[in-house]
């Protein structure tokens, strides 16, 4: 209540009490033995009470007049403390902390799988330039179809929690991406390519801020990526990478430079892979309510070989499934196609939103 409303209420309450006191005084039985002195004192008390009642009546009347003169909304205002607006950079840190807690709760549930990178299924994945040369090693009956199925499964498990106090979580993760010629029945619908990506990494949650951006997470990882084939289709490499994720409101930005662990020439299936895949990935993402747009950029600018992936997803049904469109252009979409330029459009579904997944890669 406002101070004016409180005054009116208190004045009314005081008036009621005084009136009640006056009635009690007036209705009290008078003793025949009471002395004149006591009667005189009682009369003085009554006169004082009546005078006080009169004064309160006048004050109450005046306050009512002021209250009626106030605008309607001002009179109804309550003494509610203003809500503090949380700075954007603090929101990013809070979201990162909440994400970590959700992931740790999932890890403690033996019936739950903790998502790592995006999990998606694209029943329709169309490319204008399939890798026909590589496909001949799989089937010489028929060439590859332009339309295939693309999907990715990615999960992680926590091995150690809080290695360095409140931060430093050790994980093992596994990601698998497949390109399946499901509609190519003439060639017995083979899997054209599958990439296997196990890795072990240490997560460091962070709240360091610069220029309005919050560094919410850093990841140091040892990563293996291969297609599990024998020569001449064998492709593989081992890397150490450091990924840093920055967030500012509905924007997120990721840098993930890597270093390739050297191999001997006799064991290296793809000695020129750096020329096409480059030395890291850069990602930028934007959240529009529950919808998400992201752009991935990789390659070797000095060699003129680049790869770009654009993703857009939105919630469907009860929100656990998302509609998803993905566009890829350039080199490095898969291991077998690291030196083959693709122009691909895919449509389907994904499960985990990007902003809660903790990784801005692929």
User: Which positions ≥6 away from 106 have C-beta within 8 Å?
Assistant: 112, 113, 114
Q: Determine, yes or no, domain membership for 113.
A: yes
Handedness of CA 161, 353, 287, 318 (dihedral sign): negative
How confident is the model at residue 247, as a pLDDT? Answer: 94
- Contact yes or no for 197/227 (Cβ under 8 A): no
The last residue of one of the domains, among 31, 51, 75, is 75
Q: Determine, yes or no, domain membership for 188.
A: yes
70 lies in the same domain as 94: no
Residue 125's nearest CA partner among 152, 159, 103 is 152
Q: Determine, yes or no, domain membership for 84.
A: no
176 lies in the same domain as 295: yes
User: Could you tell me the CA-to-CA distances from 87 to 92, 192, 212 in Å, in that order?
Assistant: 9, 49, 10
How confident is the model at residue 36, as a pLDDT? Answer: 52
Q: Label the pairing between strands 147-160 and 169-180.
A: antiparallel
203 lies in the same domain as 285: yes
165 lies in the same domain as 187: yes
158 lies in the same domain as 195: yes
How confident is the model at residue 48, as a pLDDT? Answer: 74
- Residues with catalytic roles: 224, 226
Q: Determine, yes or no, domain membership for 248.
A: yes
Q: Determine, yes or no, domain membership for 80.
A: no
Q: Determine, yes or no, domain membership for 58.
A: yes
Domain interval for residue 59:
3-75
- Contact yes or no for 129/342 (Cβ under 8 A): yes
117 lies in the same domain as 216: yes
299 lies in the same domain as 215: yes
155 lies in the same domain as 200: yes
How confident is the model at residue 27, as a pLDDT? Answer: 47
69 lies in the same domain as 94: no
Distance CA 193, CA 179 (A): 5
How confident is the model at residue 25, as a pLDDT? Answer: 47
The last residue of one of the domains, among 52, 75, 98, is 75
How confident is the model at residue 80, as a pLDDT? Answer: 53
Q: Determine, yes or no, domain membership for 52.
A: yes
53 lies in the same domain as 124: no
Q: Determine, yes or no, domain membership for 82.
A: no
252 lies in the same domain as 154: yes
How confident is the model at residue 262, as a pLDDT? Answer: 95
Per-residue pLDDT of the chain (362 residues; tens, 9 = 90+): 555 455 545 555 544 544 454 444 444 444 444 455 554 555 666 677 777 777 777 777 777 777 777 766 544 455 555 556 666 556 666 666 666 667 767 767 777 789 999 999 999 999 999 999 999 999 888 899 999 999 999 999 999 998 988 889 999 999 999 999 999 999 999 999 999 999 999 999 888 898 889 999 999 999 999 999 999 999 999 999 999 999 998 999 999 999 999 999 989 999 999 999 999 999 999 999 999 999 999 999 999 999 999 999 999 988 889 999 999 999 999 999 999 999 999 999 999 888 764 445 45
CATH number of 179's domain: 2.40.230.10
Distance CA 334, CA 175 (A): 13
Residue 134's nearest CA partner among 278, 276, 273, 235 is 235
How confident is the model at residue 40, as a pLDDT? Answer: 55
Number of domains within the chain = 2
246 lies in the same domain as 162: yes
The last residue of one of the domains, among 75, 103, 137, is 75
Ramachandran class of 168: left when φ > 0, alpha when ψ lies in -120 to 50, beta otherwise:
left
């Amino acid at each position: 209540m406002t101070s004016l409303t409180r005054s009116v209420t208190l004045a009314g309450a005081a008036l009621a009490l005084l009136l009640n006191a006056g009635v009690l005084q007036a209705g009290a039985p008078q003793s025949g033995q009471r002395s004149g002195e006591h009667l005189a004192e009682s009369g003085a008390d009554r006169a004082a009470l009546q005078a006080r009642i009169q004064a309160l009546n006048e004050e109450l009347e005046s306050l009512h007049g002021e209250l009626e003169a106030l605008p309607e909304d001002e009179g109804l205002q309550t003494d509610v403390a203003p809500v503090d607006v949380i700075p954007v950079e603090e929101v990013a840190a809070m979201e990162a902390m909440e994400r970590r807690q959700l992931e740790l709760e999932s890890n403690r549930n033996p019936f739950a799988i903790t998502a790592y990178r995006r999990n998606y299924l694209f029943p329709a994945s169309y490319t204008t330039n399939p890798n026909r040369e590589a496909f001949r090693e799989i089937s010489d009956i028929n060439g590859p179809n332009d339309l295939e199925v693309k999907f990715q499964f990615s999960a992680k498990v926590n091995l150690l929690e809080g290695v360095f106090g409140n931060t430093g979580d050790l994980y093992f993760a596994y990601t698998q991406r497949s390109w399946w010629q499901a509609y190519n029945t003439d060639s017995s619908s083979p899997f054209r390519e599958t990439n296997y990506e196990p890795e072990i990494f240490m997560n460091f949650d962070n709240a360091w801020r610069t220029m309005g951006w919050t560094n919410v997470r850093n990841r140091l990882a040892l990563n293996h990526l291969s297609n599990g084939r024998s020569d001449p289709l064998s492709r593989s490499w081992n890397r150490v990478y450091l990924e840093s994720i920055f967030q500012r409101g509905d924007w997120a930005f990721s840098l993930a430079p890597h270093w390739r662990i050297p191999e001997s020439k006799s064991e290296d299936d793809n000695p020129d892979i750096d020329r096409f895949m480059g030395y890291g990935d850069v990602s930028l993402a934007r959240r529009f309510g529950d919808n998400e747009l992201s752009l991935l950029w990789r390659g070797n600018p000095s060699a003129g070989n680049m790869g770009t992936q654009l993703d857009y997803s939105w919630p469907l049904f009860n929100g656990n499934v998302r509609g998803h469109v993905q566009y890829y252009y350039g080199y490095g979409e898969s291991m077998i196609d690291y030196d083959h330029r693709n122009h691909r459009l895919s449509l389907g579904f994904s499960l985990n939103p990007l902003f809660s997944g903790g990784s801005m890669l692929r």
